[in-house]
C-alpha cells in the first residue's frame, strides 16, 4: 500500500506530534482546576507518581505495538492475538466518537476567535454563550468548519500534513502560552492564584482524589484509543520507547502547569470562583479578559492557543481512524479522510444541537453531547486501556524485555503491566460507573 513506508522525518517531529495529540482542552481547562480543588501540591505529587509509574505502562505498550507491527490499530491488535481484533475496533469506535463532542468545542473556539478579532465583544458573556450555543445555524456551521480544517491535514498525508501542522503549531502554541503566563504573573491576583493551585492540602488525600488523578492522566495522554499506537507506527526503529514515553509525560505535565499559571492569577485578580470546562473558557475568562488592558489581543491570543491545542489533538484522533479505514478497507488516504469526515460530521450535528433544540432529548439523563463525553472518557477509555494492557502483558511475552531488558526495571515493568495496572484500571471502571 502507499502507506507502508511512512515515517516521521525526525525524532523531534515525532515528539511534537505526540505532544500535540496529548496537549488539548484537558490540559488547559481541566487540569489546573482539578489540581487546585483536590489538594494542590499534594495532588500534583500524586498525579506525578501515577503518571510516572502507572500511565507510562499503557503508553509504552501502545508505542511498542505501533512500532513493532507498523500498521493501524485494528491490524496491529489482530497481529498480537487474532481473537481480540474486536479490541482494535473498540478503540476505533472510541476515537470516532470523541471528535463528535470535542469538535463542537472547536467550533465555539472559532466563534470566539472571530469576536475577539473583530473586537465585537458582548456586554455579558454568560448570556452571550448560552444564547450562542443554543442557536442552530452558526454553531453547526462552525463545528463542521473546524472538522474540515482538521481533516485537511491528514488528507495531505503524514509528512506533508500532520507533521508540518505540529511542527508549526506546537512551538507557536508554547510561545503564546508562556507569554500569557508571564503576563498573568504580573497581575495583582498572582499570589492568590498560585496559592490556589499549589498550596498543599493533605486532607484531600483520599481514594477519590487518586481516581480523579488517574482519569485525568489517561485522558490527557490520549491513551486507550490507538492514537499513540498509530503515531508510534510511524516511529523510526531506533527510537527508544521508554525515553519517548517520559518525554511526552514531562511535556504534557509542564504545559498543564503553565496553563494553570496563565489562568488562576487572572481568576483571582477579579475575585471570581475558580471553575473548569466550558464555563471557565467561554464565560468567566472572556469576561475577565474584556476588563484587562489590551483585552481583545489577550482574548485573541488565548483562543488562538486553545485552537492550536484542540486542532493538533483533533488531527491525531482523525489520523487514527483514517489509517484504520485505509488498512482495513483498502482504499486511498484521501477517500478514507472524506469517509471519516462525513461520519464525524453526521454525529456532530445532533451533538452540537444538544445545547439548543435537542436540549431535552436525553438518554440515561444525559444530552447527546454529555453522553458522548461520559461514555468515552469514563467507560471506553479505561476499558480499552485495560484490554491493551492485558493483551500486551499476557500475549506479547517479550514486550518488557524488548522495552527495558532483563534487569530490575524490566521485572518491575512486567509486574506492573500484568497485575498492578489492570487491577487499578478495574477499580477506575467500577467507580466510574
- Alpha-carbon gap, residue 27 to 21, rounded angstroms: 11
| CA 310 and chain centroid, separation | 8
Cα–Cα distance list, 204 to 89, 143, 222 (Å): 38, 38, 26
Task: Tell me whether residue 115 or residue 261 sits nearer to ligand TRP (CB atom).
Answer: 261
Q: How far is the CB of 75 from ligand TRP (least distance, A)?
A: 19
CB-nearer residue toward ligand TRP: 194 or 221? 221
Smallest distance from ligand TRP to CB 216, Å: 9
Q: Kindly tell me the burial class for residue 183, based on how many C-beta atoms sit within 10 Å of its own C-beta (0-12, 13-18, 19 or more).
A: middle
Nearer to ligand TRP by Cβ, of 133 and 377: the residue is 377
User: With the C-alpha atoms ordered 354, 360, 366, 368, is the resulting torsion angle positive or negative?
Assistant: negative
- Contact residues: ligand TRP, CB under 6 A: 21-22, 24-27, 98, 219-220, 222, 225, 227, 313, 316-317
Q: Which residue is nearest to ligand TRP (CB)?
A: 24
Residue 346: CB minimum distance to ligand TRP, A: 20
Question: Would you say 40 and 193 are in contact if contact means Cβ atoms under 8 Å apart?
Answer: no
Minimum CB–partner distance for residue 385 and ligand TRP (Å): 11
Which residues, other chains included, contact 361 with Cβ-Cβ below 8 Å and sequence gap of 6+? 350, 354, 367, 368
Q: DSSP letters along 50-88, please?
A: HIIIIIHHHHHHHHHHHHHH-S-HHHHHHHH-GGGHHHH
Residue given cell 488592558 in the structure block: 293
Q: At its nearest, how many Å lie between ligand TRP and the CB of residue 382? A: 12
Q: How far is the CB of 208 from ligand TRP (least distance, A)?
A: 21
Q: Which is nearer to ligand TRP, 255 or 424 (CB)?
A: 255
- The CA distance from 194 to 40, in Å, is 9
Least separation in angstroms between residue 320's CB and ligand TRP is 7
Q: Which is nearer to ligand TRP, 25 or 416 (CB)?
A: 25
Q: Report how far residue 39's alpha carbon sits from residue 205's, in angstroms, rounded to the nearest whole number.
A: 7
* 92 or 225: CB nearest ligand TRP: 225
- Residue 59 or 209 having the CB closest to ligand TRP: 59
The angle formed by the CA atoms of residues 38, 40 and 44, to the nearest 5 degrees, is 95
Amino acid at each position: 500500500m502507499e502507506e507502508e513506508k511512512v515515517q516521521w522525518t525526525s525524532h523531534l517531529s515525532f515528539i511534537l506530534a505526540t505532544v500535540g495529540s496529548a496537549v488539548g482542552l484537558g490540559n488547559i481547562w481541566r487540569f489546573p482546576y482539578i489540581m487546585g480543588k483536590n489538594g494542590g501540591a499534594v495532588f500534583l505529587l500524586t498525579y506525578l507518581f501515577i503518571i510516572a509509574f502507572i500511565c507510562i505502562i499503557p503508553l509504552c505498550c501502545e508505542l511498542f505495538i505501533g512500532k513493532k507491527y507498523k500498521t493501524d490499530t485494528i491490524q496491529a491488535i489482530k497481529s498480537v492475538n487474532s481473537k481480540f481484533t474486536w479490541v482494535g475496533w473498540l478503540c476505533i469506535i472510541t476515537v470516532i466518537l470523541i471528535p463528535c463532542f470535542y469538535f463542537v468545542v472547536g467550533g465555539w473556539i472559532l466563534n470566539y476567535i472571530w469576536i475577539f478579532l473583530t473586537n465585537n465583544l458582548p456586554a455579558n458573556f454568560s448570556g452571550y454563550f448560552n444564547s450562542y450555543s443554543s442557536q442552530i445555524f452558526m454553531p453547526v456551521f462552525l463545528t463542521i468548519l473546524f472538522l474540515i480544517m482538521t481533516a485537511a491535514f491528514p488528507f495531505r498525508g503524514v509528512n506533508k500534513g500532520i507533521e508540518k501542522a505540529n511542527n508549526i503549531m506546537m512551538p507557536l502554541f508554547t510561545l503564546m502560552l508562556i507569554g500569557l503566563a508571564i503576563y498573568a504573573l504580573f497581575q495583582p491576583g498572582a499570589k492568590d492564584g498560585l496559592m490556589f493551585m499549589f498550596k498543599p492540602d493533605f486532607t484531600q488525600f483520599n481514594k477519590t482524589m487518586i481516581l480523579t488523578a488517574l482519569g485525568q492522566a489517561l485522558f490527557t495522554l490520549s491513551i486507550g484509543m490507538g492514537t499513540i499506537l498509530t503515531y508510534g507506527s510511524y516511529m523510526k526503529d531506533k527510537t527508544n520507547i521508554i525515553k519517548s514515553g517520559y518525554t511526552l509525560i514531562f511535556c504534557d505535565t509542564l504545559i498543564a502547569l503553565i496553563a494553570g499559571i496563565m489562568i488562576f492569577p487572572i481568576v483571582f485578580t477579579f475575585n471570581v470562583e475558580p471553575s473548569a470546562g466550558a464555563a471557565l473558557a467561554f464565560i468567566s475568562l472572556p469576561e475577565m479578559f474584556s476588563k484587562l488592558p489590551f483585552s481583545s489581543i489577550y482574548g485573541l491570543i488565548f483562543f488562538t492557543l486553545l485552537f492550536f491545542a484542540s486542532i493538533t489533538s483533533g488531527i491525531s484522533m482523525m489520523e487514527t481512524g483514517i489509517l484504520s479505514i485505509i488498512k482495513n478497507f483498502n482504499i486511498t488516504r484521501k477517500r478514507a479522510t472524506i469517509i471519516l469526515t462525513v461520519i464525524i460530521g453526521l454525529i456532530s450535528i445532533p451533538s452540537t444541537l444538544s445545547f439548543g433544540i435537542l436540549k431535552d432529548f436525553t438518554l440515561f439523563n444525559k444530552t447527546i453531547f454529555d453522553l458522548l463525553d461520559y461514555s468515552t472518557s469514563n467507560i471506553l477509555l479505561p476499558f480499552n486501556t485495560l484490554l491493551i494492557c492485558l493483551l500486551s502483558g499476557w500475549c506479547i511475552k517479550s514486550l518488557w524485555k524488548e522495552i527495558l531488558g532483563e534487569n530490575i526495571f524490566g521485572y518491575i515493568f512486567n509486574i506492573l503491566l500484568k497485575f498492578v495496572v489492570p487491577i487499578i484500571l478495574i477499580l477506575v471502571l467500577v467507580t466510574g460507573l
